[in-house]
Structure 1
Amino acid sequence: MSGTRAVVEEFFRRAGAGEFGRLSELFAEEVDWNVYGAEEVPWVGRRTTRAEVADFFDVLRRHLEAEEFAVHRIVVEGEDAIVLGDMRQTVVTTGDLFVSPFAFHLTVHDGLITRYIPYEDSLNLARAFGVA
């Protein structure tokens, strides 16, 4: 599994199956990672290592319960992929629902993800998290 599409599809297969502990295996040791949003949301911010990626998924898993996560399209051009879809998740601490369309920009180099930039409704997330 080294092609961009195959790696991205495997990432979303594992995420959909709840295999969060195995997601970081798909990332390079050094990554360009940034999740935009309110600083009070525990998983927001920049990460640069595979270990930080593993921590992200651990933190995310403790704070969100997925109700729905649907990938509608994956567009690949060379090493870059754009993934479009919709999500519906419950924030554990507040019980509030976070609903948003999403777009992820992932880059795959030598069979590993080197860039991960998600775009989602960060204001809606902050509100569901109780910080906006």
Structure 2
Amino acid sequence: MSTNLSVVKGMYEAFQRGDIPAILEVIAEDVEWRLVGPASMPFPRECRDRNEVAGFFRALAESDDIALFEAREYIDAGDNIVILGFVKGTIRSTGKAVESEWIHVMTLKNGVLTRFVEFFDTASRGGH
């Protein structure tokens, strides 16, 4: 297993534990963090530094109650790692159940995340 893949798997394990500081430790100070979706999303769609990414995780926790979050497949392409997964949860403000498959594309340099792009079914959120 490559070092970058080990780092990525460690990030997902940390997310499962709710250990956001462990995730932030492997994110570059100057990062491109992007969710593909409409401006109406209840959490930031673009982050440029570690502090903004921390704000993304805070907003996500406030917005959604995640019941299931699974990374199902990892595709190791050296500095680029593609992860296919699934999420199921509830939007806290509406009580609406949501679920979606997702794709994360990450770029790492020397074991540090420099780019993260997420694709998921934003329409499943009902207007978001």
TM-score, with length taken from structure 1: 0.89
Identical-pair percentage: 24
How far, CA to CA, are the matches of 1:19 and 1:61 in structure 2? 12
How far, CA to CA, are the matches of 1:112 and 1:42 in structure 2? 27
How far, CA to CA, are the matches of 1:96 and 1:44 in structure 2? 20
SS at match of 1:42: coil
Q: What is the 5 A alignment of 1:104-123?
A: 104-123=104-123
After TM superposition, which residue ranges in structure 1, 4 or more long, deviate above 4 angstroms?
Answer: none
Following TM superposition, by how much is the alpha carbon of 1:67 offset from its aligned partner in structure 2, in angstroms?
1.0
How far, CA to CA, are the matches of 1:17 and 1:107 in structure 2? 23
Following TM superposition, by how much is the alpha carbon of 1:38 offset from its aligned partner in structure 2, in angstroms?
2.3
Following TM superposition, by how much is the alpha carbon of 1:103 offset from its aligned partner in structure 2, in angstroms?
0.7
Is the contact between residue 43 and residue 63 of structure 2 (CA under 8 Å) also seen in structure 1? no
Following TM superposition, by how much is the alpha carbon of 1:32 offset from its aligned partner in structure 2, in angstroms?
1.3
Q: What is the 5 A alignment of 1:30-41?
A: 30-41=30-41
Aligned to 1:83: 83
How far, CA to CA, are the matches of 1:116 and 1:89 in structure 2? 22
SS at match of 2:25: helix
Following TM superposition, by how much is the alpha carbon of 1:65 offset from its aligned partner in structure 2, in angstroms?
0.9
Q: Unpaired segments of 5 or more residues in structure 1?
A: none
Is the contact between residue 28 and residue 50 of structure 2 (CA under 8 Å) also seen in structure 1? yes
Count of residue pairs the alignment pairs up: 127
| Pairwise CA RMSD | 1.5
CA deviation string 1:66-110 (max 9, x = no partner): 111111111111110000111101111111111000110011112
Q: What is the 5 A alignment of 1:67-106?
A: 67-106=67-106
Following TM superposition, by how much is the alpha carbon of 1:59 offset from its aligned partner in structure 2, in angstroms?
0.8
Q: Unpaired segments of 5 or more residues in structure 2?
A: none
Name whichever of 17-26 and 77-86 sits farther off: 17-26
TM-score, with length taken from structure 2: 0.92
Aligned to 1:18: 18
